[in-house]
Amino acid sequence: MGDQLPPTQAARLLGERKVIVNLGVEVFEESLRLQGVEVVAVRWQPPAPMPQDVAQLLDELL
Amino acid sequence: MPAVTRLLRNEYLDSLVLMHLSNEVSSWPGVRQAVLVMGTESNRRILEQVGLLTGVARTATPQDLVIAAELEPSLGEAEFMARLDQRMRARQRTGSASQGYSDLVTALRDHPEARLVSISLPGEHAAVAARQALKLDRHVFCFSQHVTLDDELALKKLAVERGLLMMGPDCGTAIVDGVGLGFANRVRSGSIGLVSASGSGLQEVVCLIHRAGAGISQAIGVGGRDLRAPLNGIMAEAAVRWLGQDSHTQVIVLLAKSASVQARRRVLDAARACGKPTVVDFLSGEIADLRPSGAVAADTFEKCASEAVRLTGLARPPSPGAGDSEVALQARVAEMPSSRRFVRGLYAGGSLCGEATHILEKSGIRAASNLEEPLSERPAGHLVLDLGAEEYTQGRAHPFIDPRLRSLEIQQAFADESVGILLIDVVLGLGCHPDPAGAVVEALQKASDAHGKGPVVIACLCGTPEDRQGYDRQLARLLHAGVHVAGSHAAAAQLAARLTTLIEVKHG
């Protein structure tokens, strides 16, 4: 974790541009925009049910 | 009139949007009741309970949006449906509803500059999304509850392996690089860094720090279970080490509702190793074992904030309360009917609720609460309720957002002639209700109209002047309604304890 960071450096999570991907509640997306954050919105849909083995295979392929 | 239903196949809206739309459609002339929900099994049961589960609604799947309504005879189905279509189209045009990626992986591959993913999906899907984000080397803020412990542990192990932060699941708030996530307050930047397994505790501490003139470097939420077994502080340790190497962080604050022995050792060792002054509030833990670590022990969120501020070199006295003086409140208590002798806490913030029970207990006041498990029935006597607990939030939004449940509870507390002291939290911040004090005041007004003067009301106001609700505006509303607003949550609970003790002495 912190081992990647030289001890004198200010820790930065978001990078220079402050871009955040929002997946879920739209209210939080609006809150981020209000703070000047660039938001990448993902319009999530509940996945159609699929057999467990197919779901696992897809997950492993990622 | 029988129920009417519109089923929108493969159309997802989140629970907050659905709550707002349900309220709006229910208020239309000619609409007796309207419910907009996703077609999950539990939501179909809700529709059945309110008499809106039509044959069409029975065929809904969790992928489908169900709009069900009962209409007055004055409103025809065709007219209602036309208006509904118009409303949904307007939403599509004005909102960001139609823009955006349809899957997370594509979004992350197209935006390598995005370093963090904020996830607030239904719990069973949140773990899948979090794993995808971590595998693609992104930090995660996960607001969702109902992620299994096994999944949480696996996600946090994956995050640690990859040098990433996994904030949550069940992480109510965080502040990273000055950006508030979840229910976050607007606070100035500064040199105090927090690691917290307590959402409302984090909010209370950062607000007190801000109001004392100091500021926050980072506030890393780790989720409510991180310091308990089997997680044992896996992410808290990583976050402390991370703050230890952040040159902006000069003082570290650790907050947790409870912590296992292993977790305490782990995070305290990490704090000692980084060599920065550390203040610790493990709400329900002993403080004796903190001494070898060199950490400063605090037994309230207020003490935590004041110690952290002191360690930065600033010295500010604690904020005084506002409203009637304690002497005036004592006089009111003395005038109350002798039946009004118990304290009733009605909380939106779980950690604030936990702090209240501890503070009351220290004064010998044992209050029943739902903090450990849901109450099967309302016990007589002192009672402190966390209205953000799972049993109250199924099928409805958190009370930070939707104040209606607490409003009903306030009226019930006035109607219950055994309640002498009413203790509440009013929490401001991004994502929270736009006027939480207004909702409390309205409920108090209705309650006193129906039941007379009622109990003494003591509130803590968790927020800052920079929050969009405005600390000062919210304070003025509460004071105008005769509420005593304490300078901190601990001060509110301590005042409630003193007044309750006074009542006990009075009545023997």
CATH number of the domain residue B91 falls in: 3.30.70.60
Q: Which of B412, B411, B392 is nearest to B402 (CA)?
A: B392
What average pLDDT does range B384-398 have in this prediction?
82
pLDDT at A3: 40
Residue A7 φ/ψ, nearest 5 degrees: -60, -20
How far is Cα B108 from Cα B137, in angstroms, rounded to an integer?
10
How far is Cα A60 from Cα B20, in angstroms, rounded to an integer?
38
pLDDT at B466: 94
The yes-or-no verdict on residue B288 having pLDDT over 70 is no
The yes-or-no verdict on residue A5 having pLDDT over 60 is no
How far is Cα B398 from Cα B421, in angstroms, rounded to an integer?
24
B235 and B282 fall within a common domain: yes
How far is Cα B508 from Cα B496, in angstroms, rounded to an integer?
18
CB contacts < 8 A, A to B, total 170
> Does some domain include residue B243?
yes
> Does some domain include residue B136?
yes
B350 and B494 fall within a common domain: yes
The yes-or-no verdict on residue B401 having pLDDT over 80 is yes
pLDDT at B45: 83
Q: Which of A1, A22, A24 faces B242 most closely, judged by CB atoms? A: A1
Minimal Cα–Cα distance from B431 to chain A, Å?
6
B272, two tokens? 């000692």
Selected residue with higher pLDDT from B180 and B317: B180
Q: Which of B172, B195, B197, B196 is nearest to B185 (CA)?
A: B172
Residue B56 φ/ψ, nearest 5 degrees: -65, -45
B91 and B200 fall within a common domain: no
B189 and B221 fall within a common domain: yes
Is the peptide bond between B73 and the residue preceding it cis, with omega within 30 degrees of 0? Answer: no
B183 and B309 fall within a common domain: yes
B166 and B197 fall within a common domain: no
Measured between beta carbons, the chain B residues lying within 8 angstroms of A1 are: 160, 163-165, 238, 241-242
Q: Is A61 on the interface with B (CB under 8 A)?
A: no
> Does some domain include residue B340?
yes
- The answer to whether residues B91 and B67 touch, using CB atoms and an 8 Å cutoff, is no
| pLDDT tier for residue B26 given thresholds of 50, 70 and 90 | confident
pLDDT at A10: 61
Of B54, B76, B97, which residue sits at a domain end? Answer: B97
What CATH number did the domain enclosing B107 receive?
Answer: 3.40.50.720
What CATH number did the domain enclosing B217 receive?
Answer: 3.40.50.261
Which of B41-55, B129-143, B333-347, B436-450 has the lowest average pLDDT? B41-55
B61 and B114 fall within a common domain: no
Q: Which of B121, B97, B122, B117 is nearest to B105 (CA)?
A: B117
* Interface predicted TM-score (ipTM) over 0.90: no
Most confident of B289-293, B302-306, B397-401: B302-306
Strand partners, B108: none
Best probe of the B interface among A4, A8, A25, by most B CBs < 10 A, is: A25
pLDDT at A2: 36
In which domain, by residue range, is B269 found?
Answer: 176-316
Which of B11-20, B273-282, B452-461 has the lowest average pLDDT? B11-20
Counting the structural domains of chain B, the total is 4
Taking CB atoms and an 8 Å limit, are B121 and A43 in contact across chains? Answer: no
Chain segment B411-435, per-residue pLDDT in tens:
999 999 999 999 999 999 998 999 9
B343 and B455 fall within a common domain: yes
| pLDDT tier for residue A1 given thresholds of 50, 70 and 90 | very low
Minimal Cα–Cα distance from A37 to chain B, Å?
8
Q: Which residue is associated with the tokens 């659905």?
A: B18
Q: What is the dihedral of CA B412, B413, B415, B420, to 10 degrees?
A: 180
Selected residue with higher pLDDT from B54 and B507: B54
| pLDDT tier for residue B10 given thresholds of 50, 70 and 90 | confident
How far is Cα A43 from Cα B391, in angstroms, rounded to an integer?
28
What average pLDDT does range B24-46 have in this prediction?
88
Which of A36-50, B60-74, B400-414 has the lowest average pLDDT? A36-50
> Does some domain include residue B294?
yes
Selected residue with higher pLDDT from B390 and B274: B274
> Does some domain include residue B425?
yes
Q: Which of B152, B224, B101 is nearest to A22 (CA)?
A: B101
- The answer to whether residues B185 and A20 touch, using CB atoms and an 8 Å cutoff, is no
Most confident of B23-27, B54-58, B145-149, B238-242: B238-242
DSSP annotation of B373 reads S
The yes-or-no verdict on residue B293 having pLDDT over 80 is no
Taking CB atoms and an 8 Å limit, are B115 and A13 in contact across chains? Answer: yes
The yes-or-no verdict on residue A60 having pLDDT over 80 is no
Of B72, B97, B122, which residue sits at a domain end? Answer: B97
Which of A24-33, B162-171, B436-445 has the lowest average pLDDT? A24-33
Minimal Cα–Cα distance from A16 to chain B, Å?
9
> Does some domain include residue B321?
no
| pLDDT tier for residue A26 given thresholds of 50, 70 and 90 | confident
B353 and B481 fall within a common domain: yes
Of B97, B114, B141, which residue sits at a domain end? Answer: B97
B119 and B193 fall within a common domain: no
The yes-or-no verdict on residue B470 having pLDDT over 50 is yes
pLDDT at B285: 53
Is the peptide bond between B169 and the residue preceding it cis, with omega within 30 degrees of 0? Answer: yes
SS3 per-residue string spanning B187-202: CCEEEEEEEECCHHHH
- The answer to whether residues B148 and A53 touch, using CB atoms and an 8 Å cutoff, is no
Q: Is A9 on the interface with B (CB under 8 A)?
A: yes
Strand partners, B499: none
How far is Cα A39 from Cα A32, in angstroms, rounded to an integer?
7
B292 and B241 fall within a common domain: yes
For B104, other C-beta atoms within 10 Å of its C-beta total 23
pLDDT at B347: 97
For B504, other C-beta atoms within 10 Å of its C-beta total 15
B428 and B461 fall within a common domain: yes
**Residue B397, SS3?**
coil
The yes-or-no verdict on residue B173 having pLDDT over 60 is yes
Q: Is A56 on the interface with B (CB under 8 A)?
A: no
The yes-or-no verdict on residue A32 having pLDDT over 70 is yes
pTM metric for this prediction = 0.88
